Structure formats: structure tokens, C-alpha cells
């Protein structure tokens, strides 16, 4: 497996599991100074 293939697979898995959405939301909250939990965190705490 080439490095490019590996990177593509990793990005695909991040997308499937919405990991990138979660990371971007966390960065966004830090940037604007919010301390409210993201919708993803709320879902996890209910499980």
C-alpha cells in the first residue's frame, strides 16, 4: 500500500465516523470561546 493510498483510507474512515466533523467543531468552539458541548458530545453522553 502506498502512502497516498493509506492517507486516502484514513480520510475515508474519518469521514465515515464523522471524526473530522467533531474535530472541526472542537476547533471552532475554541476559536469563538464557547464552552457549550457540541451536538456530537451530547449524543455520546446519552449513550
Q: pLDDT by residue (tens digit) across 36-45?
A: 565 665 555 5
Q: Any idea where the domains of the chain sit in the sequence?
A: 3-46
DSSP 1-47: --HHHHHHHHHHHHHHTTHHHHHHHHHHHHHHT--SPPHHHHHHHH-
CA 39 to chain centre: 12
pLDDT in tens, 5-46: 999 999 999 999 999 899 999 999 999 987 556 566 555 555
CA angle, residues 42, 44, 45, in degrees to nearest 5: 65
Amino acid at each position: 500500500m502506498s502512502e497516498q493510498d493509506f492517507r486516502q483510507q484514513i480520510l475515508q474512515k474519518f469521514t465515515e465516523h464523522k471524526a473530522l466533523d467533531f474535530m472541526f467543531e472542537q476547533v471552532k468552539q475554541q476559536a469563538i470561546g464557547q464552552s457549550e458541548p457540541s451536538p456530537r458530545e451530547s449524543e455520546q453522553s446519552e449513550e
